Amino acid sequence: MTGLKRSIPAIAALALLGSVAMPAMAQDGPGAGKTIKMAQATWDTGWFHAEIYKQMFEELGYTVEGPTTLDNPPFYQAVGYGDVDLWVNGWFPIHDTYRPAFEATAEIVGAVAAGGALQGYLVDKASAEKFEIKSLDDFKRDEVKEAFDRDGDGKADLVACPPGWGCEVAIEDHLTAYDLKEHINEIKASYSASMADAVAAYESGEPILFYTWTPNWTVNELKIGEDVVWIQVPEEATDENAAAGIDGCVADPCVMGFEANDIVPVANSEFLEENPAVATLLKSASIPLEDIFAQNAAMNDGADKPEDIKKQASDWISDNRDTVEGWLEAARKVGE
């Protein structure tokens, strides 16, 4: 993986945060009179938990600016500089490539969802069985490339990741390491639009190959094990790189090419020192993956407007009020 260039100076990162501050909640709290400059990721499957955390911060009395939507490189630089305070959309270890930009002055704190966030490559089950596809290496076969070539360039089409996402770097590394660049064409346009196109192609009976992660609406539209299956990267299975018991994989253990990730908050260290209530909340709070998955599915079904996501978050807080209140009470105590 390549190093991250410091191409966006602090003043430019500040310019990216041109959002209007939301009014602070009326009640007193450790955040009264204070502001949090919050960011969120460009992938919309992360906006639900960003909104939940935002509303919890506001319950502590903070005014929250944003969340401002940022790509990975500008966010990690901005949080390192202190131009933005935090986001809750870190994915580690896949975001490890960005550590040089932030880890001297910012840090991972707590976990939105620890482990279990899977990612990898999938094909439609019918094609996997017809062509006996077990790994990406099978896309070197002419008959497989031809079946998955939807644009006529002689390569199999893969719905990959847009530029700036951590998975873009990982996919590039895989295709280079396994000599697949001449056999697979990466589609790097808008992920949601590209996947919507892939779903439509599948429904028309066409073979599809795509990268995805969980939780994600894609696995609601395309059921793993029924419509699609995980395939492997062309590596020998070892204890270090294989995961056992992965539902819907062509092999067990399954060599997916990606470690299970933690979804985590990343915050500026100086900000955390000055705001122990926020640090305590980040360390305490978490959201079940199945709840994120359910919201992502609802969002894909059309409930995807900002007001929808705000209501989905407030409904989740209301449904889990006792648990949330415990987190907030702990945060209020340290903020006194």
What does the pLDDT look like over 170-220, one tens digit per residue? 999 999 999 999 999 999 999 989 999 999 999 999 999 999 988 888 888
How do strand 35-40 and strand 63-69 relate by DSSP bridges? parallel
Phi–psi pair at 162, nearest 5 degrees: -65, 155
Under a CB-based contact definition with an 8 Å cutoff, are residues 269 and 279 in contact? Answer: no
Burial 8-45 (b: 16+ CB within 10 A, else e): beeeebeebbeeeeeebbeeebbbeebebbbbbbbbbb
State the Cα–Cα distance between residues 137 and 134, nearest whole angstrom.
Answer: 8
pLDDT at 7 over 60: no
State the Cα–Cα distance between residues 91 and 96, nearest whole angstrom.
Answer: 8
Residue 230 has what pLDDT?
97
Residue 239 has what pLDDT?
62
pLDDT at 260 over 50: yes
pLDDT at 147 over 70: yes
DSSP summary character for residue 152: S
In percent, the amount of the chain with pLDDT more than 70 equals 90
pLDDT at 332 over 70: yes
Two structure tokens written together for 50? 């960003």
Burial 71-100 (b: 16+ CB within 10 A, else e): bbbbbbbbbbbbbbbbbbbbbbebbebbbe
3: pLDDT confidence band, cut at 50, 70 and 90?
very low
Token look-up 């253990």 returns: 253
Residue 214 has what pLDDT?
86
The rounded mean pLDDT for the chain is 90
Global pTM value = 0.75
Residue 17 has what pLDDT?
43
Q: E strands within 145-276? A: 156-159, 184-187, 209-213, 228-231, 261-268
Phi–psi pair at 128, nearest 5 degrees: -60, -40
**241 Cβ contact list (under 8 Å, min separation 6):** 235, 255
238: pLDDT confidence band, cut at 50, 70 and 90?
low
Mean pLDDT over 108-134 rounds to: 94
Question: Exposed/middle/buried for 65, CB within 10 Å: 0-12, 13-18, 19+?
Answer: buried
Residue 241 has what pLDDT?
72
